[in-house]
Amino acid sequence: MNSSPRDDIKGDLWFQALEAHEFNDEDKAEALSTLHTMAKVLLSRNEPSGQQYAYIISQLQSMPAKKVQEYLISYLAPYKLFSIVNIKSFIYLKRSAENLMEENRLLEKKLAEKVVMDFLHIVFYKTIPCAQGNHCKHYPRKIVHKNDFLDIELDCYFYHHEKDRRRFVIKDSEKEFRYAGNFADNKKVTEKSGFSQNFFESLFHPLYYKNFKCVRTKCGESIFCPYFHSEEEKTIWAVFFKGYFGKDREVFTKKRNIDEESYQRMRMKKIAGFGKGIFPKGMTITK
């Protein structure tokens, strides 16, 4: 009998691994907070989905965390066919069912509009543990250069370990994020929690998703790829973003760049003040 990955791990370590990815009360609170914020924004704009999210919250509040996880998985997963599917997948479906031409025409019209994830999916992508855990066929490698992820490693909507886990990114205030899209380079340890911790948190951050041209070496142009492959992809997500936040994402990135420049100027001044104002050779300070 062939051994499975589970056989290579001692029983107690296996169950510890499962426990580490279990949806707990804190995760439940974060998920409900995120849905509440989205519902509030959408209701203020008379969007029908606002009522839907508000209803979901009322259903989930009394459930234990594990049941909340199961509900969210079942609620989000059905969207995979119509909201999270690329044109290549549609072509395959069409070839597999040539006899259903009318249904295919309707499906084509629906899918042609979906070249990016919608806002709900990008917010919850990789924030809920995968029910299949280590046995998921999309289980991503833990050590990999950020641009070398395979499509199959991105295609599972749920996370498998800390390297592909995303924290909830929407804050109670819809105009702020819990953490920035960039990494905490040159930041103090106490400041690092406010920045992205891995590839998935950074590139699937609402600010960065479909904002940079694809540089992946093995990309099939799936909408699960966080980079854009055409200006259409970039524009559609920009419209989604503005529709939710009420402003262009460039407004947020401009603010981040200003904050980063201010931090670097302050850091340079501290260095310049060290040693009675003697500057390291070749160093200049810009105002």
Q: Residue 105: which pLDDT band, with cuts at 50, 70 and 90?
A: low
Report the alpha-carbon distance of residue 41 to residue 176 in Å, rounded.
Answer: 13
CB–CB of 256/182 below 8 Å?
Answer: yes
Q: Give percent of the chain with pLDDT exceeding 90.
A: 26
pLDDT at residue 101 tops 80:
no
Report the alpha-carbon distance of residue 272 to residue 275 in Å, rounded.
Answer: 8
pLDDT at residue 85 tops 70:
no
Angle at 8 between CA 6 and CA 10, to 5 degrees: 80
- Residue 78 exposed, middle or buried by CB count within 10 Å (0-12, 13-18, 19+): exposed
What average pLDDT does range 232-255 have in this prediction? Answer: 81
What average pLDDT does range 221-244 have in this prediction? Answer: 85
**Token pair 């992508």: residue:** 125
C-alpha distances (whole Å) from 93 to each of 87, 96, 103, 152, 225 are 10, 5, 11, 18, 21
CB–CB of 204/190 below 8 Å?
Answer: no
Residue 280 is classified by DSSP as: P
pLDDT of res. 34: 92
Question: 3-class SS at 144?
Answer: coil
Residue-wise pLDDT for 129-171, tens only, equals 988 888 888 999 988 887 789 989 998 889 999 999 999 999 8
Angle at 148 between CA 146 and CA 154, to 5 degrees: 80
pLDDT of res. 78: 59
Q: What is the largest CA-CA distance in the chain?
A: 82
pLDDT of res. 8: 40
pLDDT of res. 275: 46
The H or E element that residue 36 is part of is: helix 25-44
Q: And the tokens for 41? A: 């924004």
Residue-wise pLDDT for 22-53, tens only, equals 789 999 999 999 999 999 988 888 888 889 89
Report the alpha-carbon distance of residue 276 to residue 266 in Å, rounded.
Answer: 17
Q: Residue 197: which pLDDT band, with cuts at 50, 70 and 90?
A: very high
φ/ψ (deg, to 5) at 228: -90, 150
For the chain, the domains span 5-247
Following CA atoms 156, 160, 164, 170 in sequence, which dihedral angle do they give, to the nearest 10 degrees?
Answer: 80
**Which residues share a beta bridge with 177?**
170
Question: 3-class SS at 196?
Answer: strand
C-alpha distances (whole Å) from 262 to each of 265, 267, 287 are 5, 9, 10
Neighbours of 251 (CB within 10 A): 12
CB–CB of 157/121 below 8 Å?
Answer: yes
pLDDT of res. 220: 85
What is the residue-averaged pLDDT of the chain?
75
Q: Residue 175: which pLDDT band, with cuts at 50, 70 and 90?
A: low
pLDDT of res. 279: 42
What average pLDDT does range 232-256 have in this prediction? Answer: 80
The more confidently predicted of residues 220 and 267 is 220
Maximum mean pLDDT: which of 17-26, 188-197, 277-286:
188-197
pLDDT at residue 15 tops 50:
no
Residue-wise pLDDT for 112-138, tens only, equals 455 788 888 899 999 999 888 888 889
